[in-house]
Amino acid sequence: MVTSAHEGMHRIFQERPEILAPVFGVLGVPLPAKVTVDAVTTDVTEARPLERRVDTVLRIGPSDGEDFLLAIESQSGKVAGKEASWAYYVAFLQAKFGLPVLLLVVCQDRATAKWAAGPFDCGTRGWTAQRTYPLVAGPDNLPVITDARTAAKNLALAVLSALAHARSADCDAIMEGIVAALQMTRDSDPETADYFFDFLEISLGNSPAGKKLKEIMSFVSYFPGRGTVRETAYLEGTAAGRAEGEAKGILAVLEVRGIPVSAGVRERITSCTDLERLDAWLERSRTVARAEDLFAEDEDPEAD
């Protein structure tokens, strides 16, 4: 099942390409600071019924060399046959675009990262026809960043690191540092600070780091005026205020995940005053594939 954590681990590369240079630095792959980055279709399906999609594909244009494609996969555990899919992605993208292809797998635990590093061979009788060497970013090579000033200097890397270490013993210190960094950033760049806060809230979910983030934010409002679920409930303290805040939270989650919201869906969400129903929609908004799927499990889908 696609989860908010899965989405976050690869979408951050699409939405914040400044993360590429520091992550490549961690992986030991040289990449100049000046690059162009363009999203490429993730559909690698041929004219056959079997559908195949890469999580994220980017075309990278380094200032010091040839363009290449970066296929990014978010992996939460070992999946039988996934290595064959990865080999297919690399071969298909190279054939289709005529460019070199690198595969980056982003993991949240060491066992998955160790498996994902491969290499994966395709061959028999002592002969290898193809070998796949994924680049892997995970808890072993993404730094633990607990200092607020360090995090503020490179928020994108700090946020990806927080996802990778969301279940580590350091998660409390990581979240305290990153919330302080977001507060510092908000003074000069509120849009970036708001984006990364929403991103973390959605992607961390109920992980230990996600629970720590909610704990911190329940005591201190670092982002006044944003209309978040917590803030609206705290400031207005009324059922109407809480409903409005939850509706904004649902729409924010869908927006950060890149899911289109029709006028009809938006109206249904914003006009609802049933807090229990809004809570259910907010939870579903983290994983649904379409905005309309928010309402799929309602007993009475026509009611508000």
Residue 146 has pLDDT above 70, yes or no: yes
**Are 239 and 297 found together in one domain?**
yes
Domain extent, residue 26, equals 4-137
pLDDT, average across residues 131-138: 93
Give residue 214's identity as a one-letter amino acid code: K
Residue 117: inside a domain:
yes
Residue among 99, 219, 103, 212 nearest 165 (CA): 212
Report pLDDT for 6. 61
Task: Tell whether 218 is covered by a domain.
Answer: no
- Catalogue the E-assigned strands of the chain: 35-40, 56-62, 68-75, 101-107, 120-124, 127-132, 135-137
Of 122, 137, 152, the residue at which a domain comes to its end is 137
- What percent of the chain lies above the pLDDT cut of 90? 21
| CATH code, domain carrying 12 | 3.40.1350
179 and 79 together in one domain = no
Confidence at 2, pLDDT banded by 50, 70, 90: very low
**Does residue 161 share a domain with residue 122?**
no
39-63 pLDDT, tens digit each = 776 554 444 444 467 888 889 998 8
The amino acid occupying position 127 is W
For residue 131, being part of any structural domain is answered with yes
Looking at residue 257, its pLDDT comes to 77
Residue from 66, 89, 84 nearest 10 by CA: 89
Q: What is the pLDDT of residue 1?
A: 40
Distance CA 150, CA 197 (A): 17
The C-alpha atoms of residue 235 and residue 257 are separated, in whole angstroms, by 27
Residue 60 counted as domain residue: yes
Is residue 216 assigned to a domain? no
| pLDDT at residue 229 in the model | 44
Same domain, 178 and 292: no
* Domain assignment present for 245: yes
Q: Is the model's pLDDT at 217 over the cut of 50?
A: yes
Higher pLDDT, 262 or 299: 262
Tokens read off for 201: 């809230």
Rounded CA gap, 286 and 297, in Å? 15
The model's pLDDT over 14-28, given as tens digits with 9 standing for 90+, comes to: 777 788 888 888 888
Query: What is the number of alpha carbons within 13 Å of residue 116 lying toward its C-beta?
Result: 27
Query: Domain check: are 23 and 133 in the same one?
Result: yes
Same domain (yes/no): 165, 242: no
**Is 32 a residue whose pLDDT tops 90?**
no
Q: Does 270 fall in a domain?
A: yes
- Give me the pLDDT at residue 16, please: 79
Same domain? For 275 and 155 the reply is no
What is the structure's pLDDT at 199? Answer: 83
Q: What is the pLDDT of residues 166-212, one digit of tens each?
A: 888 888 999 889 888 888 888 788 888 888 888 888 788 788 888 88
- Name the band, by pLDDT with cuts 50, 70 and 90, for residue 9: low
Instruction: Give yes or no: residues 128 and 229 share one domain.
Output: no
pLDDT of 236: 46
Same-domain pairing of 63 and 173: no
Q: Are residues 153 and 128 in the same domain?
A: no
Domain count, the chain: 3
Q: pLDDT tens-digit profile of 63-103?
A: 888 899 999 988 888 988 899 999 999 999 999 999 999 99
pLDDT at residue 237, rounded to an integer: 43
Averaged pLDDT, 286-297: 86
CA distance 245 to 52: 37
- What confidence score (pLDDT) does residue 47 get? 43
* Per-residue pLDDT, 302: 47
Same domain, 47 and 125: yes
Last-in-domain residue among 96, 111, 137: 137
Q: CB 298: neighbour CB atoms within 10 A?
A: 13
Do 150 and 204 reside in the same domain of the chain? yes
Q: Does residue 23 belong to any structural domain of this protein?
A: yes
Lowest mean pLDDT among 9-18, 21-30, 226-235, 264-273: 226-235
Tell me: pLDDT of 221 over 60. Answer: no
Domain closes at, from 102, 137, 172: 137
Looking at residue 49, what is its pLDDT? Answer: 44
Give one DSSP letter per residue of 22-60, joined into a string.
HHHHHHT----S-EEEEEE--B---SSS---B-SEEEEE
Q: pLDDT value at position 219?
A: 54
